[in-house]
Amino acid sequence: MRFIVTVDDSEIKRLERLSDLNLKDALEDVGEYLLQRIALCFRFERDPKGNRWPDLRKTTKKNRRGESYHILRDSGRLKDSFTKEVSKNRVMVGTSVKYAKTHQFGAKKGQFGTVEAKVREHIRNYKGREVKVREHTRKITIPWGDIPPRPFMGITEKDKKEIMDIILNSIRRRIIG
């Protein structure tokens, strides 16, 4: 009498491939996806959910004097500053621009305190006459007016699904080989 035992170890081999799973490639793709989403927010001047950003104030438009009226893109510094950092099991997307947080969440007038600003000597028009103004200092609130939030970072339900699809597709490719 004989017994023949055949072991199909293909499932075990698939599990072994998962045991040393490195999601870095998938997280690279997730990071790129998030950077594209941020770029779209700036391009269309909308938050991640698709809501329009508050328009520029009249004073801001007046100060730009016919230059670009694009919101948060005066110099392009903030828009172009986003980077991703990827490790084996984590992706971080962000910016090192200090004022990004203020634009993401908004700020109330004077929220950051006051500063002493030096005002240079200059000529001013007062009641139709030119008047010389001496050099002096002035206390200025920071910010000098309310800044409305204009979110450019955030993850919607649609984004969560897309991120999961990116990761799951990477795992499937790893299992199947």
Q: Write the DSSP assignment of 85-132 as a string of letters.
A: EE-SS-EEEE---TTHHHHHH-B-TTTT-EEEEEE--EEEEETTEEEE
Q: Is the pLDDT of residue 126 over 70?
A: yes
What pTM was computed for the model? 0.75
Please compute the mean of the pLDDT values over residues 60-87 and round it to a whole number.
82
Closest CA to 74 of 93, 97, 52: 97
Residue 61 gets which letter from DSSP? H
Residue 1, pLDDT score: 41
Query: In the chain, what percentage of residues exceed pLDDT 70?
Result: 85
Q: pLDDT class for 32, splitting at 50, 70, 90?
A: very high
Please compute the mean of the pLDDT values over residues 68-74 and round it to a whole number.
77
